[in-house]
């Protein structure tokens, strides 16, 4: 991906931060005027512009901020546009009839335009500011559980997580404002944290996952000191509510950079805190686990690149399959049938995974359908193929089977058979089932015919 495209004037270059750190608080910001950066209002959502202009017209400060500014500077097309302002949430709501206030930890204004939501946040201040009207509360481990301290533009910039996410586009004069050195880091392709990493990770451990996600998405380098801090603080992931991590995992793997994300999660020892049962299988050098997960990530990225749908349940089915397969084998050794073993294994793994990531029931059922479907795909007796082909999760189970075939876990003959089966019409499918039945039917021993008269009563 291309780097940011802008040029420093002599007046701004004096404030350019050193390459190995962010500038200190109270350093004058770098301000890039309109004619020296590449952000165009033509590339900003019309609804975001409407919000920015209305806030500005009402006398409030209004800035586009975060990933939207970062991606525009990189020549990308942002999916979301967030806004920062000095207007309080209640003041924003008075300006927009289509506004809803959400959040307890962070009070935010969501302005709805059909399916598009423009998020507006009030400038945040430092949590230790005793003179603030609001307070920030932390638990015993330093994690912020309530944070509605309001401040100004500068304090808001220093409260953000990474320098490349602390860039502001001012609708008043169309300039870009940089307090933390984000412009230089964007130019160099470096992901740098604002403040002491250990402290920022204690405030919110999910920032470690965000570091991995941005590094994978932007193809940015994680500096050695930040990488070391992530490894050291990775156990803090255990303090994050499991329900919150479900969506975080989807952001990690369903953004088009799943393959790189997987490698970074394992490199920085985060994957095991998300999927400990699967990580055990990987550490035990299971011959199928890592190749299958890697191939699934490659396929996921390809589908997203081709604008084809991807589903959360398929992703989770892949990530949890290694421990399910191992547990099912254990239940088989205890004397359970193949189907019973699969049921017990699925329930066991999902129950244990619940301690780390809460998977909604609406997702659990399709996951199980895919896993149970593997037994149905491998047992093609009688009319079972004809019945299972009508199942709503048949195609997902078949794609899952192909993954297993790709890594050698399943006999390729089964995949070839099902591929040909889907290409046939109803009559052709019935004929395939009949052929399979005849091929598998045990041959009857031919009874030797006795010569005529033999065995008859003799006189």
Q: Which long-range contacts (CB under 8 A, 24 or more apart) does 21-28 make?
A: 21/181, 21/192, 22/163, 22/180, 22/181, 22/192, 22/194, 23/179, 23/180, 23/181, 25/154, 25/158, 27/179
What's the mean per-residue pLDDT of the chain? 89
Report d(CA 133, CA 450) in Å as an integer.
Answer: 107
pLDDT tops 70 at residue 106: yes
| Least confident span in 55-59, 128-132, 230-234, 420-424 | 128-132
Q: How many residues does the chain have?
A: 459
CA distance 51 to 56: 9
Tokens of 36: 């020296």
pLDDT, mean of residues 167-176: 98
pLDDT exceeds cutoff 80 at 419: yes
**pLDDT tens readout for residues 252-289:** 999 999 999 999 999 999 999 999 999 999 999 999 99
- The answer to which of 283-287, 291-295, 344-348 has the lowest mean pLDDT is 283-287
Question: How far is it, in rounded angstroms, from Cα 407 to Cα 103?
Answer: 45
For the CA atoms of 249, 251, 257, 260, the dihedral, rounded to the nearest 10 degrees, stands at -40
Instruction: Give me the mean pLDDT over the 109-118 stretch.
Output: 96
Distance CA 412, CA 432 (A): 17
pLDDT value at 340 more than 80: yes
Q: Which pLDDT value is given to residue 128?
A: 57
The answer to whether the CB of 221 falls within 8 A of the CB of 214 is no
Assign 175 to helix, strand or coil: strand
Higher pLDDT, 149 or 77: 77
Reported confidence tier of residue 389, pLDDT bands at 50, 70, 90:
very high
Q: Which residues are catalytic?
A: 80, 82, 161
pLDDT digits (tens, 9 = 90+) for 297-328: 999 999 999 999 999 999 999 999 999 999 99
Q: Which domains does the chain have, with CATH numbers?
A: 1-195 (3.30.460.10), 274-440 (1.10.3090.10)
pLDDT at 10: 37
Contact by Cβ (8 Å): 249, 188: no
Q: What is the DSSP letter of 446?
A: P
**CB neighbours of 319 closer than 8 A, spacing ≥ 6?**
275, 278, 293
Q: Report whether pLDDT(216) > 80.
A: yes
Report d(CA 283, CA 323) in Å as an integer.
12
Paired sense of beta strands 82-85 and 62-65, if any: antiparallel
Q: What is the CA radius of gyration of the chain?
A: 29
pLDDT of residue 149: 85
Binning the chain into helix, strand and coil, the percentages to the nearest 5 are 55, 10, 35
pLDDT recorded at residue 103? 87
In degrees and rounded to multiples of 5, residue 276 shows phi and psi of -65, -35
What's the pTM? 0.85
C-alpha distance from residue 370 to each of 88, 136, 176, 306, 418 (Å)? 48, 45, 49, 23, 15
Instruction: Dump the DSSP string for 218-245.
Output: HTPBPPHHHHHHHHHHGGGGGGS-HHHH
Residue 194 has pLDDT above 50, yes or no: yes
What pLDDT is stored for residue 438 in this prediction? 73
């Amino acid at each position: 991906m291309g780097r940011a495209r802008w040029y420093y004037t002599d007046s701004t270059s004096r404030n350019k931060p050193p390459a190995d750190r962010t500038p200190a608080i109270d350093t004058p910001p770098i301000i890039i005027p309109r004619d020296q950066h590449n952000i165009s209002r033509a590339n900003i959502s019309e609804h975001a512009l409407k919000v920015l202009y209305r806030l500005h017209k009402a006398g409030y400060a209004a800035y586009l901020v975060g990933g939207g500014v970062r991606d525009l500077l990189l020549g990308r097309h942002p999916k979301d546009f967030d806004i920062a302002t000095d207007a309080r949430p209640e003041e924003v709501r008075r300006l927009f009839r289509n506004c809803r206030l959400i959040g307890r930890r962070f009070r935010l204004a969501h302005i709805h335009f059909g399916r598009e939501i423009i998020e507006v946040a009030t400038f945040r201040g430092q949590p230790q500011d005793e003179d603030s009207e609001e307070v920030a509360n932390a638990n015993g481990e330093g994690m912020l559980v309530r944070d509605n301290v309001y401040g100004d533009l500068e304090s808001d910039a220093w409260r953000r997580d990474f320098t490349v996410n602390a860039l502001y586009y001012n609708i008043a004069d169309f300039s870009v404002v940089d307090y933390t050195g984000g412009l230089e880091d964007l130019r160099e392709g470096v992901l740098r944290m604002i403040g002491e990493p250990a402290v920022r990770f204690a405030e919110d451990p999910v920032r470690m996952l965000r570091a991995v996600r941005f590094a994978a998405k932007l193809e940015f380098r994680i500096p050695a000191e930040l990488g070391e801090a992530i490894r050291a603080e990775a156990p803090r992931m255990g303090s994050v509510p499991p329900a919150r991590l479900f969506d975080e995992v989807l952001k990690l793997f369903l953004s088009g950079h799943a393959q790189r994300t997987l490698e970074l999660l394992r490199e920085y020892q985060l994957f095991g805190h998300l999927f400990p049962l699967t990580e055990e299988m990987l550490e035990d050098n299971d011959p199928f686990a890592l190749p299958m997960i890697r191939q699934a990530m490659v396929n996921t990225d390809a589908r997203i690149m081709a604008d084809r749908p991807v589903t959360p349940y398929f992703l989770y089915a892949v990530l949890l399959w290694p421990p399910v397969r191992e547990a099912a084998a254990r239940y088989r050794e205890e004397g359970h049938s193949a189907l019973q073993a699969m049921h017990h294994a699925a329930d066991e793994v999902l129950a244990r995974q619940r301690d780390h990531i809460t998977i909604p029931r609406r997702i659990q059922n399709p996951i199980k359908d895919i896993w149970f479907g593997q037994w149905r795909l491998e047992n093609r007796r009688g009319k079972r193929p004809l019945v299972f082909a009508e199942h709503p999760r048949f195609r997902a189970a078949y794609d899952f089977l192909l993954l297993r075939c790709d890594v050698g876990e399943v006999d390729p003959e089964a995949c070839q058979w099902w591929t040909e089966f889907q290409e046939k019409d109803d009559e052709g499918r019935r004929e395939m089932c009949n052929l399979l039945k005849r091929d598998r039917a045990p041959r009857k021993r031919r009874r030797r015919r006795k010569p005529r008269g033999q065995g008859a009563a003799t006189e």
